[in-house]
Amino acid sequence: MFAVTVQPANADLLATKVGVLREVHSRETVSILDIPAADDFVAGARMAMDDDNTTGRFLDQSFSIVDPRLSPSEDPIAPLNEMLADGVRFVIVDLPAEKVLAVADAARAAVALVFNASAPDHRLREEDSRAKVFHVAPTRSMLADGLAQYLIWKQWKRWLLVVGSHPQDKLLGEAYRRSAKKFGAKIVGERVFEDTGGGRRSDSGSVQVQRQMPVFTQDAPDYDVLVAADENDIFAGYLPYRTWDPRPVVGSAGLQPTSWDPSHELWGAVQLQSRFKRLLKRDMHARDSQAWVAMRMIGDAVAHTRSGDPKAVRDYLLTPDFTVADFKGEKLTVRAWNQQLRQPILLTDGRGTVSVSPQEGFLHQTSELDTLGFDQPETKCKLQ
């Protein structure tokens, strides 16, 4: 499926092994169209490996991926140690926050760099930040701010916030509260959707959902837009067209903020989308894109420094000279204070890119991308 780069025997060949630590989940989604593919996430890293090797042929460099698939109950430290013993010094992780920290601390002794390409938790960039961890995935606050800027631009300032009952949903809900305060919106009401379990496809037929959602959203204060915080994909997909009042739904359904979407086609993105689909026989989603960007960051840094030394790569990633292209209209750079990748946020309805944040008029003294998420004066980050 992917091109295999065959390098001639060369004592000067710089071979870089990149580990991918990911948990393989089997999870339900509101729509069967959203069930993750078996190669979810790692497919993006593999395509970027192919890109890195295309450049590497001219620089006597090669790149390969080590991909031990983990179950959610499996401790990632044992496979990490095996990779480190095998010479891996760059690790792309698709893990929850606690495991990201465990991997980062275990990798620090080996002077390896970790690239967080999925966890959106603020604490990984703030009070629990690590000097050897770069964050490619946007934070919840970056996503929330990207959506909030558009809602303010549209003058949809009165929000009904519906938050799920899981811890991640509550963190996302808090991000939307922060965005409302930051940009001048008003949350006129809040509701909590309790996840009571059950087989949603067998128990929640269209008739039952059609009856439940209008009642759930009935008697709300007058609002412009319903903002759903449902990171676990439990209920938000059932809200559009079923609310009591005829209002748009945004957030975890309807108009959604994301780092990438299969429908995105601006700034040459069609080229990347088409190549991914040709190689993988499926669409490229946000998690694939985040892994692709992480691998490209590693490849670009190794190519520029002509070194596989993690210290040299880290130093280069933190310089003003480093940028990485992501087909979103701006070159991406790293926030030196917490090692978060600056990036535009796409606003999509799943059929096309409705808008891209930061929105016009949201200004910043350094970079308009820093209007998204926690800015340097707000940070609690003390890199360890």
**pLDDT tens digits in sequence order for the chain, 384 residues long:** 454 444 445 657 899 999 999 998 766 677 777 778 889 999 999 999 999 999 999 999 999 999 998 988 899 999 999 999 999 999 999 999 999 999 999 999 889 999 999 999 999 999 999 999 999 999 999 999 999 999 999 999 999 999 999 999 999 999 999 999 999 999 999 999 998 876 555 554 555 677 889 999 999 999 999 999 999 999 999 999 999 999 999 999 999 999 999 999 999 999 999 999 999 999 999 999 999 999 999 999 999 999 999 999 999 999 999 999 999 999 999 999 999 999 999 999 999 999 999 999 998 988 999 999 999 898 888 886
pTM: 0.93
For the beta carbon of residue 9, count every other beta carbon within 10 angstroms: 5
- How many angstroms separate the CA atoms of 75 and 83, rounded? 14
As a dihedral over the C-alpha atoms of residue 167, residue 339, residue 305, residue 48, rounded to 10 degrees, the angle is 30
Q: How far is CA 107 from CA 19, 26, 55, 257, in A?
A: 11, 28, 28, 32
Give residue for tokens 């480190």: 84
Q: What pLDDT is recorded for position 383?
A: 80
Q: Of 133, 139, 101, 141, whose CA–CA distance to 114 is shortest?
A: 133
> 356-360 long-range CB contacts below 8 Å, 24 or more apart?
356/266, 356/328, 356/329, 357/145, 357/146, 357/147, 357/149, 357/150, 357/257, 358/146, 358/149, 359/149, 359/150, 359/152, 359/153, 360/153
Q: What pLDDT is recorded for position 8?
A: 47
Q: Of 323, 320, 321, whose CA–CA distance to 336 is shortest?
A: 320
Beta-bridge partners for 158: 186
- Per-residue pLDDT tens digits for 119-164: 999 999 999 999 999 999 999 999 999 999 999 999 999 999 999 9
- How many angstroms separate the CA atoms of 105 and 129, rounded? 11
CB 4 within 8 Å of CB 62: no
CB 371 within 8 Å of CB 149: yes
- How many angstroms separate the CA atoms of 145 and 18, rounded? 32
**DSSP secondary structure code for residue 43 in this structure:** H
Q: Which two tokens stand for residue 298?
A: 């590693």
Query: Which domains are present in the chain?
Result: 14-138+262-343 (3.40.50.2300), 141-258 (3.40.50.2300)
Q: Which two tokens stand for residue 178?
A: 């922060």
Phi-psi region of 186 (alpha: psi -120 to 50; beta: other; left: phi over 0): beta
Contacts of 343 (CB under 8 A, 6+ apart): 138, 142, 259, 326, 328, 330, 332, 369
Q: Which two tokens stand for residue 187?
A: 């949350």
Q: What pLDDT is recorded for position 3?
A: 46
Q: Which two tokens stand for residue 353?
A: 């890119």
